[in-house]
A = this chain, B = another copy of it.
Amino acid sequence: MRLQNDSVWNALTLIGDRWTFLVLREAFFGVRRFDQIQRNLGIARNILTDRLRQLEASEIVERRLYQSNPERFEYRLTEKGLDLYPVLLALMRWGDKWTVGEKGVPLLLYHKPCGSQITPSVICTHCGLEIKAREVYYEDGPGAISS
């Protein structure tokens, strides 16, 4: 039996909120300053303050002073935060496929190493095949809580 403390649950405890995801999206686009995030998202300032505090407490972003008089901070992704990029890519790919109208996708991603437009794919690092839901089976791991 899968319990509430599995890794999906844990991950969503930290980022399972639409605004939190969108703040992360801005961070991946290099938007690091409160006012600019606030403008880009049209988010209420108190909500943004709250979400940034949570992200900082979770060590997903860190606050850095970039101006001292008056004090101004920017928010940068930590290694833990940068590691969320595959989640964002997977989400964007799904949105591109299923939620976009006739006009086409709103944003194009290009891969610097090969120069081509990115179509992300989630593969098994062992065999290189794309992972499909029906081709996976599960077992309790060492951290499973017996029910």
Q: Which residues of A contact B (CB under 8 A)?
A: 1-14, 16-18, 21-22, 25-26, 28-29, 40-42, 77, 80, 82-101, 103-114, 116-129, 131-145
Contacts and interface: CB of A to CB of B under 8 A. Distances in A.
A26 B12 CA distance: 14
Contact of A86 (B40, B90, B141): B90
Given A16-B17, A87-B87, A143 B80 contact: no
Contacts of A94: 7, 11, 83-84, 86-87
A28 B42 CA distance: 34
A141 B90 contact: no
Contact of A119 (B42, B82, B88, B125): B125
A80 B106 contact: no
A10 B144 CA distance: 34
Given A83-B97, A116-B127, A108 B139 contact: yes
20 contacts: A6-B107, A7-B93, A8-B88, A9-B95, A11-B91, A16-B18, A80-B98, A82-B133, A86-B93, A86-B121, A86-B131, A105-B143, A106-B141, A106-B144, A107-B144, A108-B138, A109-B138, A111-B127, A112-B137, A113-B129
A96 B109 CA distance: 27
A23 to B, nearest CB: 11
A124 B18 CA distance: 26
Nearest to A84: B94
